[in-house]
Structure 1
């Protein structure tokens, strides 16, 4: 077996281990589904290095994601494993995979629509953002915002006017 093939198989094993890690705030999503796990590679010293991008600056789940990745990589036989935080390009909800969007809906969370394209400063709005939401329970798009913040800062709370049930919506970023 060539060194390149061994390296590729080792990276595949590392990807498999890292791909099992779930988001601590959205446990129905793996870090791959969420689009947070950006890369797996080797450091100059031979360590396995996972690269992750935070969903937003100051995300409180980053330390848990890092610890969970290191634990899974070590459990898969990578004694020297590290996590590198990559800030550019900034994460966007557009990176959530189709499987991730389906998992959100199955868990009763309305998946995000397309992220707003921005150039320049982010405008300050003093009213709730108008979003295209769909009730994950009945499929209606007739919903009203109840709170801009749900169980986490990245979710908003809505109420469906068709089935009258409350639901969370993952905000577009």
Structure 2
């Protein structure tokens, strides 16, 4: 192993692995990485999908492996962490800001128990109005819902809150 490879180098590489469905967010922004271990000749990375049935999991695993191998020159093994479940509170503050600039409302922070009301009056990412309503809990991907802003008249998606 090259002695200049560190865990920090690996995390820097992970910053370059973008979500294929929301390309302004990387796997760290999303809180998908649960562990990184550096051994003599291999890197082990544990990740969690944002949704159990996310169709992009294999692609994200491959992108993590390719990016970290290119950066470190080491073999990389990426596994799904079965001990941790993703929840929307794992999104970083930077992720929420990036979502808004991308035109997707961030999920509200929750205290564990999710109720349907948490998706009501979701602030519009375009004009910040809370005069919105939920049009459909099903958006273009499993992790999104569709809302409508009564003030600016724009239909927008929200990254669903998950507990």
Task: Identify whether the pair has TM-score above 0.5, normalized to the shorter chain.
Answer: yes
Equivalent-residue separation in structure 2 for 1:99 and 1:147 (angstroms): 26
Matched, 1:161 2:157: no
Which residue matches 2:122? 133
Matched, 1:15 2:4: no
Q: Which has the larger radius of gyration?
A: 1
Name the SS of the counterpart of 1:156 in structure 2: strand
8 Å contact kept, 2:41–2:74: no
What does 1:82-161 correspond to in 2, within 5 Å?
82-115=77-110, 117-118=112-113, 129-130=116-117, 131=119, 132-161=121-150
Query: Structure 1 stretches of 5 or more lacking a match?
Result: 1-5, 124-128
Matched, 1:58 2:53: yes
8 Å contact kept, 1:92–1:115: no
CA RMSD of aligned residues (A): 2.1
What does 1:40-55 correspond to in 2, within 5 Å?
40-42=36-38, 46-55=41-50
Matched, 1:26 2:15: no
Provide the aligned length of Structure 1 versus Structure 2.
159
Equivalent-residue separation in structure 2 for 1:31 and 1:170 (angstroms): 15
Shift of 1:96: 0.3
Q: TM-score, normalised on structure 2?
A: 0.89
**Per-residue deviation, residues 84-135 of structure 1 (Å, max 9, x unmatched):** 21132211100100000000000010000013514xxx99xxxxx3314100
